[in-house]
Structure 1
Amino acid sequence: MRVLVTGATGFVGKAVVRELQDRGHEVFAGSRSGAAGGGGAVGITLDVTDPGSVLRAVGQANPDAVIHLVGIITQQGTQTFERVHVEGTRNVLAALPRGARYVHMSALGAREDSTSRYSTSKARAEALVRASGAAFTIFQPSLIFGVGDDFFGRVLRELVSTAPIVPQIGNGQFPFRPVSVQDVSRAFVGALELPASVGQTYALTGPDEFTFRALLELELAALGKKKPIVAVPLALMNLAVPAMQILPKPPITADQYAMLKEGNTAPNEPARSTFGLPMLKLPDYLPDIVRQAVGKSSSGAEEGVKGSRV
């Protein structure tokens, strides 16, 4: 199958490209840089916010399927949630060849009434997919972990490393069910090979549920640090987070704060059994994630990758 992947050079994109190649598909790696990413994939310049760029990329690839992964965690300049998630999805759907399969990256918690603009934009993108008439499958991952991830490798690491104490948001009981990038990539590619997945929406979550406090404790242990975890009342956080937004790079954005308070969990069925997912466990991989992130940080290399809870 000829498969065009948008966001192919991102954290999840690289894993999906590898999985596609391992299963013998012909891969066209779409990104703004046009980089192939190695492994025999064909690099294609693709900017989902530019309808002309999308049309040219689809014309060049002539795909049997499109896996749409492009997403951002924070807004910057013209790269807004509305433009990237909603208009970007609209552009990809408009260029989709007749009869092509379409697999869409959404996010767990995507809904119109969320207090997070990230989540509401993901919900609007989902609505476009369902109304498109395409042979679609939608995935809604929780926090995605793996070497190079943005949340465990950067956001949470910085949170537990910056100060002599570790700030805990509220009572720290917000639930999360992180899922490995290996499970995510296997599900995305598996959907292309499973006709029964057409028209379906799947939550993608891991085998274990953790509270926010438990994630802080796991991160500390992986880093080999011992620090007190101090609860910060929500009333105080509600004042502090907006004030942080004047900083060039706030430690937490208003949207990330909103998503953390909402939590992020769901059962891992039916995705686990439908796609035969291995259900890798966060504690087994977290030490390597933070070790490599620390190594990149100390060498001055870029750390983390922006993408959908990806």
Structure 2
Amino acid sequence: MRVLVTGATGFIGRLVVRHLRDAGAELRLASRHPERLGSGSEAVAMPDFNAPAADFLALTRDVTHVVHCAGLNNDQGDATEADYRAANVELSARLSQTAAAQVSGRFIHLSSIRAVIGARVSATIDENTLPAPQCVYGRSKREAEIKVLNAYASLGRSDAAVLRLPPVYGNGMRGNLTTLMRLADTALPLPTGALTGIRSLMSSEAAARAVSHLLSHSGSLRPTYMGADVPPVAIAAVIAAFRRGFGRPTRLITVPAGLMRPAAAVLGKRAFWDSMTATQICDPSLLISQGWAPETGTLERLAELARLPEPRLVG
């Protein structure tokens, strides 16, 4: 088995690489920064979305499977709609079109629950939830999903799958979880008891294991899968777990939401507040039914992350 992994130096991509290498796979690793990949696998530069067709043919030649981790995440504050379309939609389209015609095995495309639901909407979601993305990033991820699945379907193939991920935690994480971690790393009491949201999260290790599972399991692929740790966790419990890891007292104060919401708006944090009070539960039953085992100790893993000597909060 020879696997092309794009985004191989990224937050999740590098763990996918490790899992596949440990499983004995031969790897071709594509990255914007191939010099960071070291030795042990074939390292190549990731083509731009508008690169010549020959570049994509060379990228996918002589591989049996593709794992597409490359893309532009929603933590890039200065990214434009054109940036998201280029990195997420057009690049995924070019890669999947070439792979569908040239690669004999599976194509696993990493996506996000933002392709389905906005950050401030409360819902339980699974593979059958009607997509309703509410931000530029989410719309780009949803369109990328459609491009990938259509590229394979147009050739009568059903061996491409989308893996949607909730917020992923681990060494190198970014986004709202890093904000919560920084809030937790203080001795001051925090008025976070009113953060009533319950969220599905997923460890970066569990995400990498899900990718490896989808490549290797013997059954046929479904078009879409949902990943998540089980059970979901309360936002206040996430902060408390980080505080345990830092060795700090919990000190979470319940403040009425009616007081916190206008205060958050004055501080320019209304969107963050609303996202932390929303409940979003992801149902990974399909993956589990096919033999994948989810992480079940989310709060313990978050505390362990905070115990690292110098937690790396940026990738």
What band does the TM-score fall into relative to the shorter chain? 0.7 to 0.9
Deviation at 1:188, TM superposition (A): 0.7
Deviations 1:9-60 (A, max 9, x none): 112111111111122211111110113634622111104x433178525514
Report the equivalent of 1:299: none
Report the equivalent of 2:58: 59
- Stretch moving more, 160-169 or 85-94: 160-169
1:80 aligns with 2:83: yes
Give distance in 2, aligned partners of 1:258 and 1:85: 26
Deviation at 1:87, TM superposition (A): 2.3
Deviation at 1:96, TM superposition (A): 1.7
1:150 aligns with 2:174: yes
- Stretch moving more, 207-216 or 229-238: 229-238
Report the equivalent of 1:249: none
Give distance in 2, aligned partners of 1:271 and 1:203: 7
Deviation at 1:149, TM superposition (A): 2.5
> CA 1:257–1:58 in 2, change beyond 3 Å: closer, same or farther?
farther
Identity score, percent: 22
Q: After the TM superposition, which residues 1-310 of structure 1 pair with which residues of structure 2 at under 5 Å, given as runs?
A: 1-35=1-35, 37-38=37-38, 40-47=40-47, 49-52=48-51, 56=55, 58-62=57-61, 63-71=63-71, 72-75=73-76, 76-77=78-79, 80-98=83-101, 99-111=104-116, 113-133=132-152, 135-151=159-175, 154-161=178-185, 164-166=188-190, 168=192, 171-194=194-217, 196-226=219-249, 227-229=251-253, 231=255, 233-238=260-265, 240-241=267-268, 259-260=275-276, 262-277=278-293, 279-292=295-308, 295=310, 303-305=313-315
Give distance in 1, aligned partners of 2:236 and 2:135: 21
Deviations 1:275-309 (A, max 9, x none): 332524123322331233x525xxxxx6422xxxx
- Stretch moving more, 148-157 or 67-76: 148-157
Task: Give the conservation status (yes or no) of the 8 Å contact 2:16–2:212.
Answer: yes
Deviation at 1:115, TM superposition (A): 3.1
Give distance in 2, aligned partners of 1:257 and 1:113: 21
SS of corresponding position for 2:231: coil
> CA 1:222–1:242 in 2, change beyond 3 Å: closer, same or farther?
closer
Deviation at 1:106, TM superposition (A): 0.8
Give distance in 2, aligned partners of 1:32 and 1:46: 5
Deviation at 1:7, TM superposition (A): 0.8
Deviation at 1:2, TM superposition (A): 1.5
> CA 1:235–1:125 in 2, change beyond 3 Å: closer, same or farther?
farther
Which 5+ residue runs of structure 2 have no aligned equivalent? 117-130
Task: Give the conservation status (yes or no) of the 8 Å contact 1:36–1:43.
Answer: no
Deviation at 1:160, TM superposition (A): 2.6
Deviation at 1:180, TM superposition (A): 2.0
> CA 1:242–1:154 in 2, change beyond 3 Å: closer, same or farther?
closer
Task: Give the conservation status (yes or no) of the 8 Å contact 1:153–1:289.
Answer: no
TM-score (norm 2): 0.78
Corresponding letter in the other structure for 1:125: A
SS of corresponding position for 1:138: strand
Q: Which has the larger radius of gyration?
A: 2
Report the equivalent of 1:308: none
Aligned residues: 286
SS of corresponding position for 2:172: coil
Corresponding letter in the other structure for 1:274: Q
Task: Give the conservation status (yes or no) of the 8 Å contact 1:31–1:45.
Answer: yes
Task: Give the conservation status (yes or no) of the 8 Å contact 2:3–2:25.
Answer: yes
Give distance in 1, aligned partners of 2:69 and 2:278: 23
Task: Give the conservation status (yes or no) of the 8 Å contact 1:147–1:288.
Answer: no
Deviations 1:77-131 (A, max 9, x none): 5683333222222232233252442101111242253333332322222222222
Give distance in 1, aligned partners of 2:110 and 2:50: 19
- Stretch moving more, 261-270 or 17-26: 261-270
> CA 1:117–1:262 in 2, change beyond 3 Å: closer, same or farther?
farther
Report the equivalent of 2:123: none
Give distance in 1, aligned partners of 2:225 and 2:84: 22
- Stretch moving more, 214-223 or 38-47: 38-47
Give distance in 2, aligned partners of 1:103 and 1:219: 32
> CA 1:199–1:58 in 2, change beyond 3 Å: closer, same or farther?
farther
Task: Give the conservation status (yes or no) of the 8 Å contact 1:148–1:304.
Answer: yes
